[in-house]
Amino acid sequence: MKNWFKILLKNKYILVLFALLGVHVLNMFIDVMEVDAAQYASISMEMFQSKSYLQVFQHGQDYLDKPPLLFWLNCISFTIFGISNFSYKFFAVVSLFLGILGTYKFARLYYSKETARYAALILGSSQAYFLMTNDVRTDGLLTAWVIIAVWLLSDFLQRQKLKYLILGAIATALALMAKGPIAFIAVVIAIGADILFKKQWKNIFRWEWVLFVSVIGIALLPMCYGLYTQFDLHPEKVVYDLHGPSGLRFFFWTQSFGRITGEIYWNNHAPATFFLQTILWDYQPWVVLLFAAIGYYAINFFRSRFKSSILPEYSSINTFVLLFVLLSMSNYKLPHYIFVTFPFASILVAHFLQTISSRSVARFAIFQMVIIYLFFLLLGINFIFFFPPSNFLLPLFCIIMIGGVWMTYRKLTGVSQLVFPTLLMAIAFNLVLSLNFYPQILQYQSTSTAGHWLKEHAIPSSQVRIFNSTGFALDFYAGKAPETLDQEKINELPSGILVYTDESGAKDLMNRSVRFQVLKEFPSFHVTNLKLDFLLKSKRPIALSKAFILKYQ
């Protein structure tokens, strides 16, 4: 037993990395969640079926919110693998894996091999990263391609090889086509801050930056052409209450900066401290160490009047802080907007742990053990009060992992004593989420369960209508978006038509005509807006609503 444990410890980096990647791969088979991921899956499927690759539509209507990279990648994936959860998430997850590699490569330019390894593992084990491989949106692509671009451009400045500049420009363009101008801002902050703090003035005026911008411009041409022909050539269009919007202006300005200037009406009135609140979960189980690292660097910078040499590069600290502040200024904030800063946060944490004294590391390790066992306690609460497992294997696995965490903590020393028990917990916790928690809560996402039911019964979307409801997951799993049932056309329905609707819609329709009969009933809950009453199995029936498929006789 001791020999086996020694072998495991000897190969701990590669084993933990593959275990983390394995959990991320499992996330690829989980159903898409409403609203954003299901919406992007539906749009991708519509683009794939219509073959309208340069102009983006949603239910046949003009779509102008997000750039098209995710949709394009999904069309390629659908062509190779067919339409499924796996194919929708495939390229996004591959990009996130490359983001882990990019974080390692960038850190390795300035730090030790061990620090770079820690940075990559910390990023890959953060709750945000697990969320990005499960609830796939555009932010995963943005996060991955920004850090890849920063690595390649930093490599160019060190080695003076033009291929790294060109690859960095392509990575920047991919990040731009994933989320918009925030990508370019992030890359410029990262590279510019390092140049300015190190006073490498000659790097500002290099002719190669003209080539960099030119490559980005060429890469963006297909997207820009699509935006121009879809919107700029049609000033009569009204999209998002914008009359005659310019697609190009919307992409390069309104969609991002309009949220700060108020040019676009999107405003969820989130406070300026919003991301300070959301990061408490999204960067678990490393968030306490991140706050400690930021405080540590801030104290050293102030003491040295910003001349401290405690950091070998200034991209990480400046990108994290400046992007955090910039995003906090937006009128519209969602938790995943801040994920782009997490590769840089992970480098800061990894270097912090390598810089502080061994006594401080030991103290933080004790604190991390408390956090670790609180997470295992959460799993126990889940098994008992929320979603009991279907068999004993997952609880048994968790018990084994609890013992493994303790043995790892006792056998390792230094930074490894803190990092690897935390990584083991992250693997165990998210494996339970992937195999137990998410599959069970998604049983109550009626749009996906109804879509699966329609597909299983080979009911074509032409025979289905949606009334008083929205259903992006229904679109995706049914295989095509059903039409919306207009109020004035209710009495014109042909016999045999099925209608998906919520409780109030079902009541309305059945009051209008006795020809509507309940064909199938689905329990329903907005699973991305979890509440305690829903989580508690004893109170869940009260928290649930219902969705129906009605048949018009």
3-state SS, 268-298, equals CCCCCCHHHHHHHHHCCCCHHHHHHHHHHHH
The average pLDDT across 432-439 equals 96
- Tell me which DSSP letter residue 81 carries: H
Query: Are residues 550 and 465 in contact, defined by beta-carbon separation less than 8 angstroms?
Result: no
Query: Are residues 148 and 137 in contact, defined by beta-carbon separation less than 8 angstroms?
Result: no
- Residue keyed to tokens 């329709």: 509
- Residue keyed to tokens 């899956």: 41
- 300 with 431, same domain: the answer is no
Structure tokens at 462: 């032409």
Question: Secondary structure of 202-231 in the HEC alphabet?
Answer: HHCCCCHHHHHHHHHHHHHHHHHHHHHHHH
Please give the pLDDT value at position 1: 53
Which backbone phi and psi does 475 adopt, to 5 degrees?
-55, -50
Please give the pLDDT value at position 258: 61
List, for residues 286-344, the tens digit of each pLDDT value.
Answer: 999 999 999 999 888 888 776 656 789 999 999 999 999 988 888 778 888 999 999 99
- 299 with 232, same domain: the answer is yes
Please give the pLDDT value at position 300: 86
| Res. 363 pLDDT band, cuts 50 70 90 | very high
Inside any domain, residue 432: yes
Contacts made by residues 230-236, CB under 8 angstroms, sequence distance 24+: 230/54, 230/55, 230/56, 230/62, 231/62, 231/64
Please give the pLDDT value at position 272: 83
| Res. 496 pLDDT band, cuts 50 70 90 | confident
Range of the domain at 117: 14-355
Inside any domain, residue 1: no
The average pLDDT across 497-509 equals 91
- 213 with 71, same domain: the answer is yes
Structure tokens at 276: 């300070």
In the predicted model, is pLDDT for residue 262 greater than 60?
Answer: no
Query: Are residues 343 and 102 in contact, defined by beta-carbon separation less than 8 angstroms?
Result: yes
Q: Name the 3-class secondary structure at 488.
A: helix
Residue 421's Cα: distance from chain center in Å? Answer: 25
- 79 with 113, same domain: the answer is yes
List, for residues 125-141, the tens digit of each pLDDT value.
Answer: 999 999 999 999 999 99
Give me the count of residues in the chain: 553
Please state the pTM of the whole predicted model.
0.94
Inside any domain, residue 419: yes
In the predicted model, is pLDDT for residue 12 greater than 80?
Answer: yes
Inside any domain, residue 385: yes
Inside any domain, residue 78: yes
- With a pLDDT cut of 90, the percent of the chain lying above it is 72
- 398 with 543, same domain: the answer is no
Residue 136 buriedness (CB in 10 A; 0-12 / 13-18 / 19+):
buried
Please give the pLDDT value at position 259: 60
- 241 with 143, same domain: the answer is yes
**Pairing relation of β-strands 498-502 and 545-552?**
antiparallel
The average pLDDT across 340-354 equals 96
Inside any domain, residue 5: no
CA 373 to CA 21: how far, in whole Å?
23
Domain end residue (candidates: 416, 443, 470): 443
User: Total domain count for the chain?
Assistant: 3
Please give the pLDDT value at position 485: 87
Q: Name the 3-class secondary structure at 552.
A: strand
- 426 with 465, same domain: the answer is no
- 346 with 367, same domain: the answer is no
Domain end residue (candidates: 423, 443, 463): 443
CA 297 to CA 311: how far, in whole Å?
8
In the predicted model, is pLDDT for residue 364 greater than 90?
Answer: yes
Residue 35, preceding bond cis, omega within 30 degrees? yes
In the predicted model, is pLDDT for residue 267 greater than 70?
Answer: no
List, for residues 15-39, the tens digit of each pLDDT value.
Answer: 999 999 999 999 999 999 998 999 9
- Residue keyed to tokens 């009626």: 446
For 487, other C-beta atoms within 10 Å of its C-beta total 9
Domain end residue (candidates: 298, 322, 355): 355
In the predicted model, is pLDDT for residue 486 greater than 90?
Answer: no
Sequence-distant (6+) residues with CB within 8 A of 478 are 450, 451, 454, 455, 459, 461, 464
CA 195 to CA 189: how far, in whole Å?
10
The average pLDDT across 54-68 equals 91
Inside any domain, residue 7: no
Q: What is the CATH number of the domain that holds 527?
A: 3.40.190
| Res. 100 pLDDT band, cuts 50 70 90 | very high
- 150 with 257, same domain: the answer is yes
List, for residues 150-201, the tens digit of each pLDDT value.
Answer: 999 999 999 989 999 999 999 999 999 999 899 999 999 999 999 998 889 9
- 297 with 436, same domain: the answer is no
Structure tokens at 303: 């003491």
In the predicted model, is pLDDT for residue 532 greater than 80?
Answer: yes
- Least confident range of 22-31, 253-262, 286-295, 461-470: 253-262
The average pLDDT across 54-59 equals 92
Sequence-distant (6+) residues with CB within 8 A of 245 are 64, 231, 237, 239, 254
In the predicted model, is pLDDT for residue 60 greater than 80?
Answer: yes
CA 322 to CA 192: how far, in whole Å?
12
- 452 with 395, same domain: the answer is no
- 345 with 408, same domain: the answer is no
The average pLDDT across 352-366 equals 94
Amino acid at position 137, single letter:
R
Residue 285, preceding bond cis, omega within 30 degrees? yes
The angle formed by the CA atoms of residues 455, 461 and 464, to the nearest 5 degrees, is 105
The angle formed by the CA atoms of residues 342, 89 and 425, to the nearest 5 degrees, is 50
Please give the pLDDT value at position 309: 66
List, for residues 218-232, the tens digit of each pLDDT value.
Answer: 999 999 999 999 998
Sequence-distant (6+) residues with CB within 8 A of 11 are none
Residue 494 buriedness (CB in 10 A; 0-12 / 13-18 / 19+):
exposed
Inside any domain, residue 415: yes
First to last CA, the chain: 68
Return the higher-pLDDT residue of 105 and 329.
Answer: 105
In the predicted model, is pLDDT for residue 7 greater than 60?
Answer: yes
